[in-house]
Amino acid sequence: MTDTKIKILPCPRCRKETVWEGNPFRPFCSARCKTTDLAAWADEDYRIAGDEAPAADESSTNE
Ligand SMILES: [Zn+2]
């Protein structure tokens, strides 16, 4: 049988098959996917952190 030492895993971002060994961007396939993923997390964090609504001039409207 084949004796392959190379581990290939799909990139969690784009599902592209990626060689694990010697890959500085693992588990991603490239710097782009890594950055995109981190940015997505950062963006989510930012949204949660800044979830508080700004002081809106929203006094109860009674008509
Ligand atoms: Zn990718």
Rounded to the nearest angstrom, the distance between the alpha carbon of 38 and the centre of ligand 1 is 13
Q: Minimal CA–CA distance to 8: which of 19, 23, 24, 22?
A: 19
What stretch of H or E contains 17? Answer: strand 17-19
- pLDDT, residue 12, reads 93
Rounded to the nearest angstrom, the distance between the alpha carbon of 39 and the centre of ligand 1 is 14
- pLDDT, residue 48, reads 62
User: Which structure tokens are listed for 50?
Assistant: 């800044």
**3-state secondary structure at position 36:** helix
pLDDT in tens, 8-63: 999 999 999 999 999 999 999 999 999 999 888 888 876 766 566 666 666 666 67
Top-confidence residue, 42 or 4: 42
Any residues with CB less than 8 A from the CB of 35 and at least 6 apart, and which?
none
Give the global pTM.
Answer: 0.58
